[in-house]
């Protein structure tokens, strides 16, 4: 089973890494792939280039067994739609179970994603739960959850796609927005992200840091 963790990673930080590891362990994933979005379709454009964000992910997971980074969204023109990424992975990998990992905030925005109803046919969806955030009871997202939700982790390994599972993970109030703001204000974000990533930010003079 391969887990897919998409994001902007502007920059990658310990909440991404810790939650990814917890999902990897709970699902016993053979591989967890980070997939940086080259041109994220539904948000302001990142400050670091796609190549820099890919480099930062690579530095962050350098010594971590089973974690990899996949740069395929940098090779496509136009907005980085997850449906295209999943279709290309499916073509390449055949019938292996794929697990798209989403934060609960990302799940709530899912109906705005390009061709979002195709996603569950291409991968399982695992949602990292956040206490206090409630799912809508009506509407197309509620329908998707009702139709696909399972409580059985073992079901995921038995089929290539089609199940939805909610997993509890440690709650870490770290965000890339906050890290960028600290850097721009001249404050250190150390211990919120790996030192290797922070060193790279300084080398590349990213986020308003002087080189
Ligand atoms: P920004 O602050 O720039 O919006 P971010 O820190 O939220 O960035 P993204 O790259 O947009 O990071 O997030 C990628 C994925 O990681 C999303 O699915 C998001 O839900 C999840 N994620 C981000 N921060 C956290 C966190 N603190 N805890 C759990 N999941 C998170």
Q: Can you tell me the distance from the alpha carbon of 179 to that of 54, in angstroms, rounded to the nearest whole number?
A: 17
Nearest CA, atom 8, ligand 1: 176
pTM for the model stands at 0.95
201 lines ligand 1 (CB under 6 A): no
- Taking only the tens place, the pLDDT of each residue in 10-23 is 999 999 999 999 99
Q: Can you tell me the distance from the alpha carbon of 132 to that of 135, in angstroms, rounded to the nearest whole number?
A: 10
Domain boundaries in the chain? 2-172
Nearest CA, atom 17, ligand 1: 103
174 lines ligand 1 (CB under 6 A): yes
What is the distance between the terminal CA atoms of the chain, rounded to a whole angstrom? 41
- DSSP letters for the chain: -EEEEEE--TT--HHHHHHHHHHHHHHT-SEEEEEE-SS-TTSPPPSS-HHHHHHHHHHHTTT-TTEEE--GGGGSSSS--HHHHHHHHHHHHTT--EEEEEEHHHHHTGGGSTTGGGHHHHSEEEEEE-TT----SSSHHHHHHHHHB-S-THHHHHSSS--EEEEE-------HHHHHHHHHTT---TTSS-HHHHHHHHHTT-TT---
pLDDT band at 171 (very low <50, low <70, confident <90, very high): very high
106 lines ligand 1 (CB under 6 A): yes
Ligand 1 center–CA 10 separation, angstroms: 10
pLDDT of residue 211: 58
Ligand 1 center–CA 188 separation, angstroms: 20
Pick the CATH number of 2-172 from 1.10.287.70, 1.10.150.120, 3.40.605.10, 3.40.50.620: 3.40.50.620
- Taking only the tens place, the pLDDT of each residue in 41-56 is 988 899 999 999 999 9
52 lines ligand 1 (CB under 6 A): no
Considering only CA atoms, give the Rg of the chain.
17
At residue 82, does pLDDT exceed 80?
yes
Ligand 1 center–CA 16 separation, angstroms: 6
177 lines ligand 1 (CB under 6 A): yes
Distances, alpha carbon 138 to alpha carbons 95, 114, 134, 141, in Å: 32, 21, 12, 7
The encoded tokens of residue 32 equal: 């967890």
7 lines ligand 1 (CB under 6 A): yes
Nearest CA, atom 15, ligand 1: 7
């Amino acid at each position: 089973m391969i887990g897919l963790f998409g994001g902007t990673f502007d920059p990658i930080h310990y909440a991404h890494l810790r939650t990814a590891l917890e999902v990897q362990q709970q699902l016993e994933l053979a591989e967890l792939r980070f997939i940086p979005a080259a041109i994220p379709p539904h948000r302001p454009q990142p400050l670091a280039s796609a190549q820099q964000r890919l480099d930062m992910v690579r530095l962050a997971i350098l010594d971590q067994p089973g974690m990899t980074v996949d740069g395929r969204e940098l090779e496509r023109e136009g907005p980085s739609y997850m449906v295209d990424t999943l279709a290309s992975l499916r073509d390449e990998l055949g019938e292996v179970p794929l697990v798209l990992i989403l934060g609960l905030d990302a799940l709530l925005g899912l109906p705005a994603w390009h061709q979002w109803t195709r996603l569950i046919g291409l991968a399982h969806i695992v949602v990292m739960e956040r206490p206090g955030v409630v799912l809508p009871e009506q509407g197309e997202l509620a329908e998707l959850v009702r139709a696909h939700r399972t409580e059985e982790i073992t079901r995921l390994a038995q089929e290539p796609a089609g199940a939805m599972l909610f997993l509890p993970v440690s709650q870490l109030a770290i965000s890339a927005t906050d890290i960028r703001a600290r850097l721009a204000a001249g404050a250190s974000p150390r211990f919120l992200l790996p030192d290797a990533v922070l060193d790279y930010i300084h080398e590349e003079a990213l986020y308003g840091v002087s080189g």
